[in-house]
Chains A and B, each alone.
Chain A
Amino acid sequence: MAAQTGVRGLLRYLPVLPAVVLLAVFLAGPVLWALHASFTNAGLTGRNARNPDWIGLENYQRLLVDPVFPLSLGLTVLFVLGSAVLGQNLLGLALAVLMRRARRAVSAVVGTTVVAAWVLPEIVAAFAAYAYFSRDGTLNQLLGGLGLDQPDWLYSWPMAAVVLANIWRGTAFSMLVYRAALNDVPSEVAEAAQMDGAGGWQRLAYITLPMIRGSIATNLMLITLQTLAVFTLIWVMTAGGPANASSTLPILAYQEAFRFGDIGYGTAVATVLILIGAVFGAVYIRLLRESKR
């Protein structure tokens, strides 16, 4: 009898199977394959493509010696901190706060513009950003109009260019999160604080921000994960150059695997990135579970 209900219980969950198979083959599979391949000398072409040899920790030892890897790790941290944690997060919050105080028409127009940069296909956004920052692009036109220096941004300041471009591209997400969060703050609370003589900044710092701290934590985790994975924007704008000056981990993994044909080493870089993502993912899920309790 017990066995029968067990079988019935399993049968009831049969419809989950297609999803589980897809996830196992195409998500879990590649992650496990990555762990394995990062211990081999798998190549893109030639003998090592068909019969890779097990080389143990050699790829990971190379990561420690290769001067490009720490550079790339540092650039990734800079990219995430600069464009997501500081840029998108603070600008998104500022936009959301301003939109509550501005006239409805103004906030609708500006909101649409910000969201448009985010809804565009990533390759189109990347081309637009490339044109904007190129030597004779819009930014230098503006600087020239002000009588300032006009550097070649993509060559002299590649990280500044990709960080700014990613802020432009991704701020809409934070803005939408914070608009929804601010809408859930009851206006009575703010009114009461106003009666007690709290100014705008005080209300924001002591009342509003603490009330939406859950949304802030969620938003920070999600934009960090999204920004860690950014490839197309950087690839189109600088291709990681000049001389690795803007090659974050996704770019480095791609270059090593497909440009230099060293799948094993590229996969080791990718594995590091997957592990970083997994740590942030685990923290995010913990935050979420705690907020549900």
Chain B
Amino acid sequence: MTAPAKASRVVPPGEATARTRGPYRSSTPADVALLLLGACFLLPLLWLVLASLDADASHETRVPAQAGLENFAAIMTPALLLQPLWNSLVLSTGTAAVTLVAAVLAAYPLSRYRSRFNTPFMYTVLFGTCLPITAIMVPVYGLFVQLELLDSMPATILFMAATALPMAIWMTRNFMDAVPASLEEAAWVDGASRMTALRTIVLPLMRQGLGVVFIFVFIQAWGNFFVPFVLLLSEANQPAAVSIFTFFGQHGAVAYGQLAAFSILYSLPVLALYVIVAKGAGSPFALSGAVRG
């Protein structure tokens, strides 16, 4: 459970830099080796950027003969770009909101009360994070058929929230443990109920942590392809991850440039959110585990 455990510990930037300055800094062979490895990682990404600017892009990586934004202009249509991105937004925001509310409610008793129930519950939840989600998609499809929930946006949101919950409960409880209980006790003396104290005192104090959990779940949902691919069938409901696959799976042979342009526009929101979390939470660690098939 490295991710949630580390997420709650915000390392002051000064401390981290002092530690990394070991006895061996700035060696040129290490620079060269690292740059070579970095180049290998960069190449596939480079194709994406160059092809998006090239009106007759192919699979080749090459500097466009005439760089321009034609590809971006070509995909800027409501049906092709805006509707899928809107669906992605609804799906991801809904998933993150449901997850956050359920995780906060569940984390409160687990963080504040001592009970024999806590440890087994937390380990059961942790076990849930280990479940290969792709393996349960066939059974989930069967379940959705039986309950007549196929192609239902709310049901898909609830399912995606359930898959994100185990990790979210762990992270939220760690953030909540960091808020001292003594702060609430003053409020109880004034007659506030547990839930009022949670809302008015605990949550505002952990809002940064809540932001991390929200963004973490949002990024996961935004990038998810397989779940909406199986559960959302009609074009009107499909998020960008699926529409990009179905559209370019059928017409892709000619439109690599547009594919790359669409991919970039679709990726920008999560790249931006990642930067926010990595900066704000002190450590990019908060996002470990964000990629699960």
Binding site for B on A (CB under 8 A): 9, 12-13, 15-20, 22-23, 25-27, 29-31, 33-34, 37, 42, 49, 91, 94-95, 98-103, 106-107, 109-110, 113-124, 126-129, 131-132, 134-138, 141-142, 168-171, 173, 176-177, 180, 183, 187, 190-191, 194, 200, 215, 218-219, 222, 225-226, 228-233, 236, 249-250, 253-254, 257-258, 263, 266-267, 270-271, 273-274, 276-278, 280-282, 284-285, 288-289
Contacts and interface: CB of A to CB of B under 8 A. Distances in A.
Contact of A15 (B109, B241, B284): B109
Nearest to A101: B30
> Which label, helix, strand, loop or mixed, suits the secondary structure of the B interface?
helix
Contacts of A128: 44-45, 47-48, 263
A288 B256 CA distance: 46
Contacts of B40: 168
Interface of B: 1-2, 6, 16, 19-27, 30-31, 33-35, 37-38, 40-48, 51, 58-61, 98, 101-103, 105-106, 108-110, 113, 115, 117, 121, 123, 125-128, 130-143, 145, 158-159, 161-163, 165-166, 169, 194-195, 219, 222-226, 230, 241, 244-245, 248, 256, 259-260, 263, 266-267, 270-271, 274, 283-285, 287-293
A208 to B, nearest CB: 11
A280 B244 contact: no
A266 B291 CA distance: 24
B245 A23 contact: no
Contacts of A107: 34
Given A100-B25, A131-B47, 5 more contacts: A110-B35, A138-B43, A168-B41, A180-B2, A257-B138
Nearest to B249: A236
Contacts of B291: 118, 122, 169-170, 173, 226
| In the complex, the 10 A-B pairs of residues with the closest C-beta atoms, listed nearest first | A281-B130, A110-B38, A26-B162, A121-B223, A229-B132, A34-B139, A101-B30, A19-B106, A15-B105, A229-B293
> Which label, helix, strand, loop or mixed, suits the secondary structure of the A interface?
helix
B98 to A, nearest CB: 8
A263 B59 contact: no
